Chains A and B, each alone.
Chain A
Amino acid sequence: MDDHQARAAGALADDLRASVQQVLATMVEGGCDCLGADAAAPEARLHAQVEFQGAHRGVLSVVCDESGAEDLARGLLMLGPDDPLGPEEVADALKECANMVAGVLKTRAFGSDGDARLSVPRLQSAPAPAGAFLWRVRGGTMAVALRRDS
């Protein structure tokens, strides 16, 4: 990777962190904390992906362990610890979180008129990609990563 590519990758990483921060701070009751690189990645129980299509191709991943995904869903829906919450609601909340992060990132990184289109979010069974940023959401951990294909 040359200097120009390294700077571009660094700027994209900054945009990704800022996008996650914006979504979690605005939408998740209780806020969030960005964790250091030494934090343990969550065991991948739920993995939501949104594809970037067009000139800027890639895949955004949001990965949580079971309790992290439930904490995220409860935060988004403003539910207390004893409020009922089904697995389908947890999975949908993770997908919606990925969708919002991808939308904010698209605008931050590629501009409001950039040639990037977003897929509908979907669940995957793959583990968290290497180099993911980690976030504490309520009691759980969430990993977010962007793989660039172009």
Chain B
Amino acid sequence: MNKLLIVDDSSTMRKIIMRVLRQAEISVDNILEAGNGVEGMQQLASHPDVGLVLSDVNMPEMNGLEFVKAIRKSHAKDKLPIIMVTTESGQGLLTNALEEGANGFVCKPFTPETIRSALEPFVG
């Protein structure tokens, strides 16, 4: 995979995800970061070759569900895989996210194996 975008308002969580991606031996050439959905949309506009998005749900300014909706409204991004990485595992929330167009979930706290399983269908 060329580029992966991590969207989370916690810089700690973004670093943890990057570390776990390495532990899970998921090969990514370039990892981009954003602190909320607005910044995430800006990154996607600047980097149209992003191949996968990992997004938190509970974020200020534009939350994860709004971010997924905004991505799916963009015709160029209607097939971009999006995995939600969230502390909230409520069935209602997960269903909402899937309806908005998310492709999968990882619940925090997570292990490298959990991340690998969630990302495997989308990475080479």
Contact = CB atoms under 8 A, between A and B. Distances in A.
Interface stretch (B24-32, B42-50, B75-83, B84-92): B84-92
A111 B5 CA distance: 31
A104 interface: yes
Interface in A89-118: 89, 92-93, 95-96, 99-100, 102-104, 106-107, 112-114, 118
Interface stretch (A70-78, A123-131, A141-149): A70-78
A23 B91 CA distance: 21
Interface residues of B, number: 23
Interface residues of A, number: 26
A89 B12 contact: yes
B12 A92 contact: yes
Contact of B16 (A27, A113, A114): A27
B15 to A, nearest CB: 6
Contact of B87 (A78, A88, A89, A118): A118
A17 B108 CA distance: 17
B80 to A, nearest CB: 26
B90 A114 contact: yes
Contact of A120 (B60, B92, B107, B110): B60
A22 interface: yes
A46 to B, nearest CB: 13
B10 interface: yes
Interface string A14-27: 00000000110011
Interface of B: 9-13, 15-16, 19, 58-60, 86-92, 107-111
Given A77-B12, A103-B88, A104-B109, 5 more contacts: A26-B110, A95-B10, A103-B87, A106-B88, A113-B91
Shortest Cβ-Cβ A-B pairs, 4 listed: A103-B87, A26-B109, A93-B12, A96-B12
